[in-house]
Amino acid sequence: MFCWKRRGQGEAAARGRAARRIAALGSAVALTLGLSRGANAQEDAPPASARESTPEPSAGFALGASLGFLQQEGLGAETQTQLVPGLLALAYVPFAPRLFLRPGLRLGYVGLTQAPSSFGARIEERGVHATAELGISYDAWLVPALSVGGGAHYRSIDFIGRGIVADSDAIDRSEWLGMVFAQVGLGLPLFRGALVVEPNLRLQHTFSDERSLLQFGIDLTFAL
């Protein structure tokens, strides 16, 4: 009976040692996993110096050129296309995360293309327009923008006679007209935003001239 007691005590001691070893092994594994996760979290997190040195978005400026194709009502159901080159200046003012106010100025010229005319005479129309606009743009891989604006359009109309048709100033005139427009565009930033190519569509109205319909165009701007 004494032998059975000693044997039972030995088995209990062995089971205790095994339990302690298992507990120690589990603690070591848990500690190793905790240290590994902590190291990965520290590697993934940006350093404090980088977080502190990240600059806030600031105002920016851009200059560029534009090319538009203005659709106008012609005689009957015919639609004419006017080529409208121009210059533009834009500012980008941050007011919310990734959102920018975009005020701008534009200067354009009309008259490179003329309406079809007869061999003996033609009417030439030339002009310049200056506009101001205010838009909103969203900074992403592509830069959508929505703008509204208005301005003044100065144009001159001349009757040109050729051959047996003599010149006449009966319809010649120069005038100032007001204009308003709404424009939507989708910019493609290149070279880390140093260059932006923005195709756009404009709905335009010129007062006292109901011919203007739509203008398709493209803006090319360079960041300053």
Write out pLDDT tens, residues 157-211.
887 766 666 566 667 789 999 999 999 999 999 999 899 999 999 999 999 888 8
pLDDT at 30 over 50: no
- SS3 for 52? helix
pLDDT for 222: 97
pLDDT for 14: 54
pLDDT for 112: 86
User: 83 φ, ψ to 5°?
Assistant: -85, 125
pLDDT for 33: 44
pLDDT at 13 over 60: no
134 and 25 together in one domain: no
pTM: 0.69
Residues 6+ apart with CB under 8 A from 128: 107, 108, 109, 110, 153, 154
How far apart CA 126 and CA 157 sit, in angstroms, is 7
pLDDT: which is higher, 90 or 51: 90
CB count within 10 Å of CB 184 equals: 14
24 and 73 together in one domain: no
What total number of domains does the chain contain? 2
82 and 6 together in one domain: no
User: 42 φ, ψ to 5°?
Assistant: -65, -35
Two structure tokens written together for 174 = 């120069």
User: 33 φ, ψ to 5°?
Assistant: -65, -40
pLDDT at 35 over 50: no
6 and 42 together in one domain: yes
Residues 6+ apart with CB under 8 A from 181: 131, 133, 148, 149, 150, 202, 203, 204, 205, 215
Residues 6+ apart with CB under 8 A from 60: 91, 92, 223, 224
Q: What is the CATH number of the domain that holds 105?
A: 2.40.160.20
Q: Of all helices (H) and strands (E), which one includes residue 196?
A: strand 195-206
29 and 70 together in one domain: no
Residue 146: C-alpha distances to residues 81, 102, 111, 177, 187 (Å)? 24, 9, 27, 24, 11
Domain that holds residue 9: 2-52
